[in-house]
Structure 1
Amino acid sequence: MADDRLFNVQRRERLMEELRRHGAVRVKDIAQLLGVSELTVRRDIAALATQNLLTKVHGGATLPTELDSAPPRRSRPAVSRFTIGMVVPSLDYYWPPIVGGARTAAAAQGVHIQLRGSSYDPAEDRRQISRLIEAQQVQGLLLAPTLDGPGADEMIDWIAKLPVPVILVERQTPRWRRTHPLLEWVRSDHALGLELAVRHLYDHGHRRLGLVLSKGSPTSAHLAEGWESACADLGLPNDLVLRDTVGLDQPGHREVIAQLLARCRKTRTTALIVHSDPDAMSIAQYCAEQGLVIPDDLALIAYDDEVAGLAEPAMTAIRPGKPQVGRVAVEMMVSRLLEGKRRPTQRVLIIPELIIRNSSVPRPGVDSGGLRFPAPVRELQEG
């Protein structure tokens, strides 16, 4: 009985650790992470909720807020009148932790968030933003618009002329534009995150690396920048870059991975950095089918750390501080609304974390001198 009680405590401490890290957790994810049933996780959440350590929501939990346990503080009557609009391009995968972080900060500040989901389409971005403005209920906007393509300059100019303060989230404007030199933003420093991955592999003896970038992702340009910088600083070749999506749901992904690994073999590349988790896991699965051992034959690092820890072996990953991005965006907006033009313009970069697991660290006594393909490897044969 004492052992069971100790295990319960350890499990709930881990749950709280994940909650503090991400701002919100899902029952399904925690069950997979801890290797227990979803019913067990729901019971843990219910027990922690009775102690006011978290707030139960449908399918998971969020951090507790002042609104859960106490009336609003009298010292913040002005803040409680603020409503902030938030428009994000997706309500799944990358964005829920950012939204969770924003909601946690908003609740702590006594403000309200009106969330709108858009898509990676500038026309839809404008429609959702315009709806919030026309309702005349928001005093500020947190926006993650699509800023790729020929219409990017026009979109930035339009946003800069909106009648309420705007803070871009996981987006940024060019360093200088005459029409809006002071537009604010907060985003992850993806370039530095990529450098962390390169330097980690370099420290473990890898001298020939490759990079896989998700096609069409706004993050890819920052990752490419970090790749170029890190390789230049360390004197590494930077030519093995694949700009394609190789997730399991992508048609033809096996052929693309086969060609990639053939290039790795030819150039004696010993490690890959892959954006994002599903693509990295797809490569790892293909390697396993071909008899290749990770990290002995090929080290892998994923970029995003949404599900990398569930891979086999558990995958080293770069984890952007998504909840922190959401929290800082709200805090910046509240400060702007309270102080107005007295507050200096802010543009904030949040550094990602390197989460070291089993896919990038050589096992004792194993020399990773290049991709050693067992024979025969049918799909990887050249010529």
Structure 2
Amino acid sequence: MSNDELARSTFAQQRQDQVLHLIRARGSIVVSEVAPELGVSELTIRRDVNQLARRGLVKRVHGGATLPDPEATFSGAPRNRGGRTIGMVVPSYSYYWPSIIAGARAAAATAGVRLLLRTSSYDLADDRRQLRNLLQTPGLQGLILAPDVSAPDSAELLAELDALDLPVVLTERTAPPGASADSLEWASSDHAAGAGMAVRHLHDQGHRRIGLLYPQNSPTSRQLIDGWRDELRRLGEDPTLPLTGISDGFLEAGRDTALDRTLEAVDATGTTALLIHADAAAVAFVQHCTDQGLHVGDDLAVVAYDDEVAALGSPPVSAIRPPKEYVGRLTVELLLARLNEGSQRPVHRVRIGPELHVRESSVRC
């Protein structure tokens, strides 16, 4: 493949990623609206939609595309005829989780396994309700769950899951130290490694005071803090000097107050670069910086954690992308391997590395 062909292929993949991120963020797209937004022709977007549909990631509709029906079976996938049935409970059908669901459904469809999908609401009581409902399913052979392991009473739920007489795999979650979870398996993005990756990238750009902003109640935040702090120390930097804070107010009404205070804190601490979770908050922050006359990338560098909408910012925001589809697929594969091999199989707990996508927001001109 020539350099020109490689560049075109890479650009097409990046554009398809943008289209997929839009569909996941909005639930659906209209080709005639997205084409000018991304600066390409409607024919190009239709081709991208066709490629994504062939991979089972979206569903084509007249004039656009939507997310696949969670209860639908992939085209051409083996039908479940008296085979295995597994259950899955995730916190949401929206932001972040559609990719994990898509990966899980693809693995289940390939194996000819019936996947029963339920959502909770980032609430352990709701997790328990959905779990009870699934356990009443005749022939249920295994469970996949994503409970809020940062909640104060999560240890009790994990102990209940550990005591079940059918295998349980956590998806995008890990049991905290000390939890009764001897039999539980999991597949999760290595968020601490992702934070470290962002810190190294920003350090390579010449930044030394690299701050971190994160949602207060996100199960991911603790890992990001650990990875960010450990990597700064490894690089010989003091993690107590740059700004650390909460990003929750960046997407709420009256957000300018929270954004202004953050910029003031950036200046007061001498912070020159930030890792911001999640990417919607990072895009809002970058937009506010631009409105205040700052040149993002030069005056202040930003890397988002998660990559649902980061590429759509102005300027496009560099992002750490967790391997969500792969996590969903591997979770199902772990559960099926446990069912196939039984108690002879050692407990598997897998962390999967994210990817860094470098864009304008973190690179000096």
> Normalised by the size of structure 2, how large is the TM-score?
0.84
Residue 255 in structure 1 maps to residue 254 in structure 2:
no
Q: Give the superposition deviation at 1:343.
A: 1.2
Moved more, 141-150 or 338-347: 141-150
Secondary structure at 1:84's aligned position in 2? Answer: strand
- In structure 2, the CA distance between the partners of 1:46 and 1:236, relative to structure 1 (3 Å rule), is closer
Partner residue, 2:203: 202
* Deviation sequence 1:224-266 (CA, Å, 0-9, x none): 1111101111122223210241333x14422222122112212
Contact 1:167 1:186 in 2 (8 A): yes
C-alpha separation in 2, matches of 1:43 and 1:86: 32
Contact 1:277 1:303 in 2 (8 A): yes
Secondary structure at 1:359's aligned position in 2? Answer: helix
Matches within 5 A, 1:140-179: 140-177=142-179, 179=180
C-alpha separation in 1, matches of 2:57 and 2:151: 41
**Out of 242, 245, 249, which is 2:248 matched to?**
245
C-alpha separation in 2, matches of 1:45 and 1:16: 11
Partner residue, 1:339: 341
Contact 2:247 2:281 in 1 (8 A): no
Partner residue, 1:217: 218
C-alpha separation in 2, matches of 1:205 and 1:352: 23
Q: Give the superposition deviation at 1:337.
A: 0.8
Moved more, 167-176 or 298-307: 167-176
Q: Which consecutive residues of structure 1, in runs of 5 or more, have no partner in the other structure? A: 1-5, 364-383
Q: Give the superposition deviation at 1:55.
A: 7.5
* Deviation sequence 1:249-298 (CA, Å, 0-9, x none): x1442222212211221232111110011111111111111111111111
* Percent of paired sites with the same residue: 43
**Out of 34, 39, 44, which is 1:35 matched to?**
39
Partner residue, 2:234: 233
* Deviation sequence 1:12-34 (CA, Å, 0-9, x none): 95389649x99x97763984674
Contact 1:12 1:44 in 2 (8 A): no
**Out of 81, 98, 101, which is 1:99 matched to?**
101
Contact 2:77 2:109 in 1 (8 A): no
Q: Give the superposition deviation at 1:173.
A: 1.1
Which one has a bigger Cα radius of gyration?
Answer: 1
Partner residue, 1:132: 134
Secondary structure at 1:337's aligned position in 2? Answer: helix
Partner residue, 1:367: none
Partner residue, 2:287: 285
> Normalised by the size of structure 1, how large is the TM-score?
0.80
Secondary structure at 2:75's aligned position in 1? Answer: helix
* Deviation sequence 1:296-331 (CA, Å, 0-9, x none): 111110000100000011110000000010010011
Contact 1:246 1:283 in 2 (8 A): no
C-alpha separation in 2, matches of 1:92 and 1:269: 33
Secondary structure at 1:28's aligned position in 2? Answer: strand
Secondary structure at 2:362's aligned position in 1? Answer: coil
Residue 191 in structure 1 maps to residue 198 in structure 2:
no
C-alpha separation in 2, matches of 1:67 and 1:310: 29
- In structure 2, the CA distance between the partners of 1:216 and 1:54, relative to structure 1 (3 Å rule), is closer
Residues matched between the structures, number: 344
Structure 1 counterpart of 2:276, one-letter code: V
**Out of 316, 319, 326, which is 1:317 matched to?**
319
